[in-house]
Structure 1
């Protein structure tokens, strides 16, 4: 894919991660957001703090479009770097809406909500799912489950989506 998704619309990439994140996760998410915006992607996120806010901040710094898919029924607590705010009132079910709206999913760090987003993205089976830090999911024999692409850094995470040459 180039910088366009279905119907010629811009590619949409969900950046998922915890609201309570480390400084490194914050830096990584900001850089991922910036890199995606520079490639013309719309950056989707959960719309609140931590990794979500950092990804939106990075994308906006590169004049990108950012969309926050909120769990709440109103815009309360939405990040200041969002171009579009979508209050769903769905609570955690919004995680499914978020990853279903994406052409690729990049997970930065991990929390229970982030694990939910990772699982929803993997269940889709039709989009690249890239992980930068965070969860390591093992099968019952202690072997890593396949499918999730592990990135070594923000540039690697964006490249592993396979959306740009």
Structure 2
């Protein structure tokens, strides 16, 4: 049985309207490609991406910061309560073959930095971050296509 790629989607816990639309498209595209979406399992970009994936028949993993699996958004198909707070960002980067960033602030930036440190490809839609190693794109479709291509090249 072939293993499915785990692709992390990171972003704002309170997404802008545009960010939520982009995240939902990213989730849908990942599901259509057969990838499993990994995120922090809460609201904003995480919820929108999970919603898109689930509506397209995909699977989603939420690595929750707290101890309660019921805290996951309604579109997480597998909730894993870590009890680690922001330290769960390391787990998201570690288990993901690539990361896609949508919107976000310091928590997202920490996931990006950890992902880059771990050698994970990081694709950012409309990136406002000037961080070496981030691959900027403009659309959800470009983000998913590039993230999948880069993830498949990893050893």
CA contact (8 A) 1:110 1:133 kept: no
CA contact (8 A) 1:115 1:135 kept: no
* Residue ranges of structure 2 left out of the alignment (5+ in a row): none
CA contact (8 A) 2:127 2:136 kept: no
2:30 corresponds to 1:36 = yes
3-state SS, counterpart of residue 8 of structure 1: coil
2:144 corresponds to 1:158 = yes
TM-score, normalised on structure 1? 0.87
2:77 corresponds to 1:83 = yes
- Residues 119-158 of structure 1: pairs in structure 2 closer than 5 A: 119-125=113-119, 127-137=120-130, 145-158=131-144
- The count of residues paired between Structure 1 and Structure 2 equals 151
Partner of 2:51: 57
- Cα shift at 1:99: 1.0
CA contact (8 A) 2:7 2:96 kept: yes
Task: Write out per-residue CA displacement over residues 87-125 of structure 1, whole angstroms, 9 at most, x where no aligned residue.
Answer: 000010000001100111000012111111011101011
3-state SS, counterpart of residue 110 of structure 1: coil
TM-score, normalised on structure 2? 0.92
Q: Distance in 2 between matches of 1:12 and 1:135?
A: 25
Bigger Rg, which one = 1
- Cα shift at 1:134: 4.5
